[in-house]
Structure 1
């Protein structure tokens, strides 16, 4: 199980005022709205989430890195757990023509407003109970999703990822922290997290869940 960074540079390209999010709004109220994962979270005011999550091509370099690292090829079956509006899946289909994709997200709003080219391959659902058969996929990825679950849910979701993709071509990325400053920044900024762990603890959880894939993190520097 290797630690791999596909996304920190993209994450760090957005400037954030961590303290402002806490002092200018009712953080608890904003988090309650955000965790509904509806229109306000995706396309509403910034205090509730993305502040408008629209396709702009930013996921293409991430797709290229993932495709190269896992040797994706025509005919491979890939699942994105927590696919959102499907932008990364779309880019993967452009980088690897003939890739067979599926996506699952808890947000029906995100699925309904997903990129139309991949929308037919997406569905709303619970990552703790994936609606796919054993060994249904060659590759499974999950970016920015598992930290939104309580720790028992993380174990369940990792077990499900392992079930539908028993090989080693799996990857999850979560929000984490390496020091007290990054932990404070994460706590100030996050709206939807339920699991807060350092990298070593996340790796331990994955190992205990029987997960055999890779993992990575983004940090709020």
Structure 2
């Protein structure tokens, strides 16, 4: 992370050998959006050249969905979330737990692949909740956990969450989501911040589950000049 104190427009900059990303969290009311984007782009190009990263990306948050890649959402836990879900179980208690590897392989998502590799080496970051159909795992969410934010409030961090493409629109995603929220509520979480890709099944699921939209995330890659 780079120090952005010398320019009040920038909120944060992160860098890897491959890409430099600069982020703007809040718009200043006395500065037009295009001015801020220009300034953000200028600093990204400057730092990309200075530190020799292969690419640059500008990320900003806005109130409207136009051209956004991601919706940012807030879940506030309620007592009603503490409900039992017989149709969802922990992977460790699942009679067909050995099919998790097939689920991960067919899903082809980096998050679950990473999680499965950790499980194979005996590492556990928390419970994984699964849904079963046709004698195999068809959906999963995890690892489950909570942590304290900077104010000391307990929150539930985002988890990997997916349903096999062939088994979508059968209620698996909603059942997994509600079971995950029950786990969070039972373990003292007060809120959860998460994101959903624009146009995804998750984006249509979350608003129906009483989540609030905090804003929208936009991004633009920069061509080296």
Fold-level match, TM-score > 0.5? no
In proportion to residue count, which structure has more helix?
Answer: 1
Q: TM-score, normalised by structure 2?
A: 0.24
- Report which structure shows greater RCO (CA 8 Å, sep ≥6): 2
Structure with more strand by fraction: 2
Greater C-alpha Rg? 2
